[in-house]
Structure 1
Amino acid sequence: MRPLRFLGCLWGLLSVQALRFSEGGGTLHTRRFFFVGGSYVKQGKSEVVHGQMYVERLTPAKVTQDFPILFIHGLGMTGSNLINTPDGRAGWADYFLAEGYEVYLVDQPGRGRSAWKEGVDGNQITVGATWIESHFTATRNYGLWPQASLHTQWPGNGTVGDPIFDEFYKSVMPSLVSSVESSLLVTAAGSNLLDIIGPVILITHSQSGQFGWPLADARPSKVKAIVALEPSGPPFDNPSTLSVSSLVRPYGLTEIPIAFDPPISSPADLNYHAVKVTSDYTCYQQVPPARQMVNLVDIPVLVVTAEASYHAVYDDCTVQFLAEAGVNVKHVQLEDVGIRGNGHMIFMEKNSLQIAEDVINRWLQQSLTSSCLAFDLCYASYFEFSQSCL
């Protein structure tokens, strides 16, 4: 019996290691794609489908997690940006596949493989290379906010002509100008997707942060957790101005309606006031007692902020708004857990896998009940697993 037990343990060890992330090659998985949402609308004398969303489903050889991950990308991006990094390393999609998660990637409606329709969809804009340099990849060269000088984790020098920057910038897509239009389209198509695939872990980034809240609001039972990577903010206002007249998120964190308790009939019902965050920065919060984001209060939320990003200036305001609105939110500022030098594109940077492992996945395991691996050993390391077989 002992040889059979040894072979069983050896098979288990190999199975666990096969599912682990390998820098040299991708994780074994199957790939499918489909479309959700959309409707036929008039275009000239014919009809076209508008508002559809491309969905890519990646399933590892062995699914060990209870809930799949749904990634929604940010401005100018598509789902392909999660596949690998601009310098050729495997991306977060592969990491989470190796951890036993099924992964769904989407292209927002009106972008990439979710085709924009002329005369039907709204105007588009493409983010320029200089803006990308100054806000994402070479922030030290521009110094537009105090923390910009701390940025060290982008691979390459982050400027036009650098092969890694050029590879990244070639992936930048035209995006709908109107965030209201994008919010409505993503919420509609995303709700359709959740009705099809069931409960998910929702990971948003940047622009899509303000799409994640109304999606979870529309389907609260289908969103088991939200990881918001530097979500759109701060509340109500743009980070570039503190003028009330420039109100851009009238519902606090969103541009489209979301449920509050007590209910509101219009954004005017949300009373807000200026709150001094630092000596040189002010943001807006609800006037107490804050109305509650009633459909989000049972969903655990993680907000992640990088040390050198422009979000380091104001993500505290976003987290405060969520907490005062009754949301169970945890805020991880990467420098506080020893992860230094990151900018806004944390899932592309040199230490991206450390962030996925030590911050995102660790929080998910703490926040959700997950399935066990072979021999009823949950998330065991190689050493722990091997010792149990002796």
Structure 2
Amino acid sequence: MQGMMRALAAVALCTIPLAARAEYRVREVGSFHIGGHEVVLEGLPTSQISFTAGMAPITVDPNGQFETGQMYVQYVKLAEPSAPLPILLWHGGGLSGVTWETKPDGKPGWQQFFLERGYDTYVSDAVERGRASWSRYPEIYTSPPLFRTKREGWDIFRIGPADGWAQEPSARHAFEGTQFPISDYDQFAKQAVPRWATNDAATQAAYDAYVRKVCPCVIVVHSQGGNFGYTAALHNPDLVKALVLVEPSGAPDPAKADASAVKGIPHLVVWGDYLDRVPFWTPLMKANAAWRDAVNKAGGHVEWLELPKAGLHGNTHMLMMDRNSDAIAARVSDWLGQQKLTR
């Protein structure tokens, strides 16, 4: 028995993380839906449906009142936050707030990182994603849902070269030096959710309502969330106190948007590695650079952080899931600290 206890103790010691994570006390965990409006459907046929085995069919009537265009937000508020403002984490296309939670390899994500740094955190599912829920097509959504294949994600998220993809996981090969845990790529692919091509206006309206409800705040956006973040700052320059853009896939057009409206909001734009290997990213970086230059010319402050030039190599588009993602989050946290943020 004593030998067994010693063995169990040895196993327990081996499972203790090498670097203990910070502890924090939580005051409140909650959620809400925001944005959206009512629509009424009429003239649609009823149907007879049995919802479970052995259940007699019932009449389902799709006509009536529905809510559409809402988004979902979950928050964690600390008992004693040390950061002056909450941090809002916005996901990218075909994804949801899971982006910021637990990484595909099971390690804590940026939500926990910023909780440990003293921030109240808000993680959202945008309109049409995750717990925000869908709406009927074609009666409400005017385009069909789009689904990303695992191969498409491999390519445009810069996990590996196009010829590195294979259906069999053991046959795949990533970019040399990649920080993404490719053995967990299929686990990551389980996060993919459908997206629609015609809901941007509703999504922006919901994000703007979200900012007006929660902020002043810091906003961290990823990929497709980039343009929504830029625009939310333009619409609410007094409420957005800092904007961190992780590989934003869109940016305002300087010829159409007033860059001077956000000159008082510090921006940090973060880029990973292998961008020159995937042509998809060239025009997107160019668009973001044009907006950066316009804001800086107007007297603002947009900092451009290319991780390889800063000594951090091997990062994919999903850099918040890469093995060195805590080091990147620390760069973001340090930058935020330099901004002297106040309400």
Output the TM-score relative to the length of structure 1. Answer: 0.68
The match for 1:285 is none
Equivalent position to 2:226, from 200, 209, 214: 209
- The secondary structure found in structure 1 opposite 2:224 is helix
The match for 1:339 is 312
Matches within 5 A, 1:219-298: 219-233=236-250, 252=253, 259-260=257-258, 293-298=259-264
The match for 1:189 is 206
Shift of 1:312: 6.6
Quote the Cα distance in structure 1 between the aligned partners of 2:37 and 2:230: 24
Question: Is the CA contact (8 Å cut-off) linking 1:27 and 1:97 kept in structure 2?
Answer: yes
Amino acid at match of 1:324: A
C-alpha offsets along residues 256-291 of structure 1, whole Å, 9 cap, x if unaligned?
A: x9642xxxxxxxxxxxxxxxxxxxxxxxxxxxxxxx
- The secondary structure found in structure 2 opposite 1:361 is helix
Quote the Cα distance in structure 2 between the aligned partners of 1:23 and 1:76: 33
C-alpha offsets along residues 36-88 of structure 1, whole Å, 9 cap, x if unaligned?
A: 11111113330100111101111123201111111110011111221110010
The match for 1:106 is 124
The match for 1:355 is 328
Amino acid at match of 1:136: F
Matches within 5 A, 1:158-197: 164-178=184-198, 181-182=199-200, 184-197=201-214
The match for 2:38 is 40
Shift of 1:136: 2.2
Question: Is the CA contact (8 Å cut-off) linking 1:53 and 1:106 kept in structure 2?
Answer: yes
Question: Is the CA contact (8 Å cut-off) linking 2:158 and 2:274 kept in structure 1?
Answer: no
Quote the Cα distance in structure 1 between the aligned partners of 2:75 and 2:256: 28
Amino acid at match of 1:205: H
Shift of 1:347: 0.3
C-alpha offsets along residues 243-268 of structure 1, whole Å, 9 cap, x if unaligned?
A: xxxxxxxx527xxx9642xxxxxxxx
Shift of 1:33: 0.5
The match for 2:178 is 152
Shift of 1:133: 1.5
Quote the Cα distance in structure 1 between the aligned partners of 2:71 and 2:30: 14
Runs of 4+ in 1 over 6 A off after TM superposition: none
Amino acid at match of 2:309: D
Structure 2 residue runs without a partner (length 5+): 1-17, 43-62, 166-173
Quote the Cα distance in structure 2 between the aligned partners of 1:226 and 1:216: 8
With over 3 angstroms needed to count, the CA separation of the structure-2 counterparts of 1:97 and 1:302, relative to structure 1, is same
% same residue: 29
Quote the Cα distance in structure 2 between the aligned partners of 1:204 and 1:67: 16
Question: Is the CA contact (8 Å cut-off) linking 2:76 and 2:121 kept in structure 1?
Answer: yes
Equivalent position to 1:97, from 109, 112, 115: 115
Structure 1 residue runs without a partner (length 5+): 1-20, 158-163, 236-250, 261-292, 372-390
With over 3 angstroms needed to count, the CA separation of the structure-2 counterparts of 1:176 and 1:117, relative to structure 1, is same
Shift of 1:205: 0.6
Matches within 5 A, 1:300-339: 300-309=266-275, 310=278, 313=282, 315=285, 317-325=287-295, 326=298, 327-339=300-312
Quote the Cα distance in structure 1 between the aligned partners of 2:270 and 2:336: 13
The match for 2:90 is 72
Quote the Cα distance in structure 2 between the aligned partners of 1:348 and 1:71: 14
The match for 1:134 is 155
The match for 1:10 is none
Question: Is the CA contact (8 Å cut-off) linking 1:27 and 1:94 kept in structure 2?
Answer: no
Shift of 1:149: 3.9
Amino acid at match of 1:62: E
More deviation, 120-129/334-343: 120-129
Question: Is the CA contact (8 Å cut-off) linking 2:207 and 2:228 kept in structure 1?
Answer: no
Quote the Cα distance in structure 2 between the aligned partners of 1:186 and 1:204: 14
The match for 2:67 is 49
With over 3 angstroms needed to count, the CA separation of the structure-2 counterparts of 1:175 and 1:312, relative to structure 1, is closer
Amino acid at match of 1:365: G
The match for 2:4 is none
Quote the Cα distance in structure 2 between the aligned partners of 1:26 and 1:231: 32
